Amino acid sequence: MATDQVLTGSAPAGESGVGAQAAEAAEAAEPKRAQISRLPSLTGLRFLAALAVFAHHAFLPIPPLRLLADDRTEFRLFRWFDQAGGLGVSFFFVLSGFVLTWSARDNDTTTGFWRRRFVKIYPNYVVAWVLAMVLFASDYTSTRIAVANLFMVQVWVPKYFTNFSVDSPSWSLGVEAVFYLSFPLLLAVFRRIDARHLKYWIIGAIAAVWATPAVAYAAFPKTPLVPSGQDLSVSAYWFSYVLPPVRMVDFALGILVALAVKHGRWRNIGMIPSFVLLAGGYWLTYHVPYLYGQRAAMIIPIALLIAAAATADIEGRFSLFRNRTMVWLGEISFAFYLLHYIALSWLRKQLGTEMYSTTQGIAMLVGAAVGTVVLSWLLYRLVEAPLVRRFSRPRRAARTEVVA
């Protein structure tokens, strides 16, 4: 399928797509707009992305996490899930741009947006930071690095053991914080783009994602190497995968795709073809240099899948990810993302140095996943949800409701 067809919505008659009719539905009366702004299929997909990151960490062959005694099985599983973390994180970054754009309020203020994001993200982040420090991270983390993590600035230096310290997955929240600070300006700028030209901006963003590893490999020193066994320097890895301004392109792509869908300038190929293409992109990660596999090989299918899931909700089409269970899992997925590495590390610490058969190890990992779901629900129920309800609305509106 030609790229122009995908981006312009020029689908043949009778084929599914988000054209002018879907765009009108998306911009209908306010009650209906509020109803579809949640896009529950995207909420359900969030958990699959978090689960991909869990799988990546579960099979990392490093002493703080490894459970399997059989080297051959361990490294085969590691190979299978090596790029699952990159897939999950890239999905989250594009999804953030899409969802924030889709649900943006015309009468919102910058400070109101920032307040809602802070209340949604930071309390959970602090709880996870405290748990990680108390349970294991304080054994080997300096005060300076711990404080850098607490204030979400660990991503700004090209140091592997600083970027992925305390609660390792939390580095991506340091990147997301930059996205949130930039979003009001980015949205204002991108809304000025002629809808007919959005396709060129989207193509440009995708090209930038593909160009990033090329720059990293060409411009950065070849040593020192990352400790994961890849023939890859720490600085090249940091620039291509961690540095917030570079990862901003993923976020911007999500904003642009959301605008294209809203304006009827996106050709929807459907969720099943999008999943097939995503599987193909993941297969491609085995056949390209490592940094290309982390983002570039999967970026187009990720964008297609997010748009397809949103379209399914807009048009009321069947979706496996809109059911109550998947939406619930999606709602707790942020907590799951923050807590899963803590659960895996604590489990390994409690077990000492003993290694286990493949069957035993897999059973423990399944148990860790289930236990993390329970803990995530508690964190969502006791911290995230009540704080969001209490502080995310404007104070004036909250006072008016009390008086009424």
Residue 108 pLDDT > 50: yes
Which pLDDT band, with edges at 50, 70 and 90, does 118 fall under?
very high
pLDDT on residue 404: 36
The least confident of 174-183, 224-233, 266-275 is 224-233
Six-digit token pair at 266?
Answer: 């996106």
pLDDT on residue 106: 85
Six-digit token pair at 287?
Answer: 């056949």
Share of the chain above pLDDT 70, in %: 88
Which pLDDT band, with edges at 50, 70 and 90, does 13 fall under?
very low
pLDDT on residue 293: 96
48-59: b (≥16 Cβ within 10 Å) or e: bbbbbbbbbbbb
For residues 237 and 6, the model is more confident at 237
Whose structure tokens read 């056949």?
A: 287
For residues 69 and 28, the model is more confident at 69
Tens-digit pLDDT profile for residues 354-394: 999 999 999 999 999 999 999 999 999 999 999 999 887 76
For residues 1 and 71, the model is more confident at 71
Tens-digit pLDDT profile for residues 302-330: 999 999 999 999 999 999 999 999 999 99
Measured N-to-C along each axis, helices 244-262 and 296-315 cross at an angle, to the nearest 10 degrees, of 30
pLDDT on residue 228: 75
To the nearest whole number, what is the mean pLDDT of the chain? 89
Q: Which secondary-structure segment (H or E) carries 404?
A: none
Provide φ and ψ at 68, rounded to 5°: -85, 130
Tens-digit pLDDT profile for residues 141-162: 999 999 999 999 999 999 999 9
pLDDT on residue 395: 57
Which pLDDT band, with edges at 50, 70 and 90, does 105 fall under?
confident
Mean pLDDT within 344-358: 94
Q: Which of 294, 251, 296 is nearest to 94 (CA)?
A: 251
Q: What is the DSSP letter of 239?
A: I
Tens-digit pLDDT profile for residues 165-216: 999 999 999 999 999 999 999 999 999 999 999 999 999 999 999 999 999 9
pLDDT on residue 36: 55
Share of the chain above pLDDT 90, in %: 83
pLDDT on residue 400: 36
Mean pLDDT within 54-66: 94
pLDDT on residue 394: 62
Mean pLDDT within 10-31: 41
Residue 2 pLDDT > 50: no
pLDDT on residue 396: 55
- Centroid of chain to Cα 305: 13
HEC secondary structure over 192-252: CCCHHHHHHHHHHHHHHHHHHHHHHHHHCCCCCECCCCCCCEHHHHHHHHHCHHHHHHHHH
Q: How far apart are CA 172 and CA 169, in angstroms?
A: 6
Residue 63 pLDDT > 50: yes
Q: What is the pTM of this model?
A: 0.89
